[in-house]
Amino acid sequence: MPTSSEKVSTAEKPKVTAPTGSPAAHRPRAPRHGWQRALEVVVIIALIIGANVLITLGFELYSSLANVMWDEYRAAAGESIDTVIVGSSTGQRSFDPSILDATLGTTTFNMATPAQELDDSYTAAKQAIEDHHVKRVVLALDYESISTVKWPGSHVAFARAKMAGESFPQAVADYWQLLTSSSFFDGADSICALFPWGYNHVELDAEHIATNFNDRVSGTAPVQAAERVMDGWTYYGNGYGNYDGVLDYSTARDHLSVTEDGPADFDQQGLDWIQNICDLCREHGVQLVVVVTPRPAFNVLVYGEKYPEQMSRLQQVVEQAGGTFLDANLAKGGWYEPRDEDFYDGEHLNHDGATRFSQAFAGALQVLDAGGSTSDLTYSYDQWDQYLASIDDISAVISTTYQEDNDTVVEAIAYTGSNVPVEYRFSLVAEDGSTTVIQDWSSSDSCTIPQDKISEGSSQVEVCVRRAGTTVGYERYCMQDISG
């Protein structure tokens, strides 16, 4: 403690003046006014919005098929359209309007787009009814349209493509509807709507980004951009474009629509949206034809009994609402018979396949126009056993593996009709491509491969299948990777 002599009163302490230029010589900054803070916030928000707009111009896919469809639809504003096709990519690539119109004397526009959700199909049909007073709506579906009702970002891509050519007030109204929709609050749409380039973007390299930006700002038609960007895709007019590739059936496993967990039941929301479309058409006196589009037989058989069980629910909704229901996958031979070369992949027809199906479908519409019924063109879901018996070939074979003790077991699944007995052959494929039969033709659908038969690293097993009792080399095959 200081002594009494060390105590100095405060009044007696000398004043110390801070040197000029020292921090203590600066006066404290005056508090900012509220308007200054608000201005800073506004500037920051403006910079973020500006950056988002610039990124969107370069990154958001200008050549999307939703953009193509809406741009071409607006270009046909002054033309007569009496039939529209709505739905997802299976509809976009199953119906050639020129084929339908050549047979029926109609004017058809294909408004289907990839991953088009059912509420967007409703929007498209409603727009066509308002703009052109169409007389017929064709709704194209597949199993996933009702079991998987939402695809992240697709709703935003569809809405933004529609807004692109609208008046400012209408575009604002559509965007507000998007921001207040249920999908905005319960999924990825909330991010996609604010940052559309995050989902619907070009390939992330300088060349594609620059091309995308130039196409957008130069006014290049979306269809021209799409034909350049999407390898093998050709636009044929009236909203319809397609590819010419053909499905490689040896890769059927990669094209199955059913996951390892098995097929999902239909989502009630999907059925409710179907009901909304039915109500829309009935209220406006528009004929509604709901079509389940063709796919390879193996991608129907993979659903098993779930297919008729769930599809019959869809049929009931449509027919009770006064619509016509047609499942092209259960077509009888006298109406439509798909060929292997008709399919681009496990769910889509190629251009030649769409031509053939459009011709068959035009015949079905002729029956309806004449006041007839299309019910005898397909097997009913109650006739599922008859449908299975009608398949007289092997659609595809796939395989899986599992370990048993120290050995690898390859198990095959052949997708075929109920009256087609099959036999399998398993061959080991070496790295140089040579094959060694390890289990010759037999009815056994599995083969155990001893560890000493597998070369170091990795190899493959070739699984071949044919109708039992025949002598052909094989009818279908697949390749199975195995690890040593």
Reference 257, options 226, 301, 220, 215; nearest CA is: 301
* Contact criterion met (CB below 8 Å) for 275 and 318: no
Provide the token pair at 362: 């035009």
**Beta carbons within 8 Å of 244's beta carbon, 6+ residues apart:** 232, 234, 350, 351, 352
**H or E segment to which residue 185 belongs:** helix 182-185
Rounded to whole angstroms, the Cα distance separating 146 from 143 reads 6
Range with top average pLDDT, 167-171, 287-291, 406-410: 287-291
Residues ≥6 apart with Cβ < 8 Å to 189: 152, 153, 155, 156, 178, 181, 183
More confident residue, 305 or 205: 305
Between 189 and 177, where is the model more confident? Answer: 177
Assess contact for 425 and 439: CB atoms under 8 A.
yes
pLDDT band at 19 (very low <50, low <70, confident <90, very high): low
| CATH 2.60.40.10 fits domain 394-483 | yes
Q: Which residue has the higher pLDDT, 442 or 28?
A: 442
pLDDT band at 416 (very low <50, low <70, confident <90, very high): very high
pLDDT reading at 6 higher than 50: no
Are the CB atoms for 276 and 124 separated by under 8 Å?
no
Domain spans of the chain? 36-75+149-229, 80-142+270-387, 394-483
Residue 11: per-residue pLDDT? 43
Q: DSSP letter at 175? A: H
| Confidence check: pLDDT of 145 > 50 | yes
pLDDT band at 2 (very low <50, low <70, confident <90, very high): very low
Higher pLDDT, 230 or 317: 317
What residues contact 361, with CB distance under 8 A and at least 6 apart?
95, 100, 291, 328, 336
143: pLDDT strictly greater than 90 = yes
Q: Which residue has the higher pLDDT, 307 or 78?
A: 307
CATH 3.40.50.1110 describes domain 80-142+270-387:
yes
Do domains 80-142+270-387 and 394-483 share one topology? The answer is no
pLDDT tens for 87-109 read 999 999 999 999 999 999 999 99
Sheet with 83-87: strands ordered across: 108-110, 83-87, 136-141, 287-292, 324-327
Asked if the model's pLDDT at residue 20 lies above 80, the reply is no
pTM of the predicted protein model: 0.84
Structure confidence at residue 9 (pLDDT)? 43
Select the more confidently predicted residue: 176 or 113: 113
Q: How confident is the model over 331-378, as pLDDT tens digits? A: 998 999 999 999 999 999 999 999 999 999 999 999 999 999 999 999
Residue 52: what pLDDT?
55
What average pLDDT does this structure show over 425-451? 90
Q: What is the pLDDT of residue 3?
A: 45
Nearest to 154 by CA among 118, 119, 181, 116: 116
The Cα–Cα gap between 298 and 460 comes to 23
Average predicted confidence (pLDDT) for the chain: 86
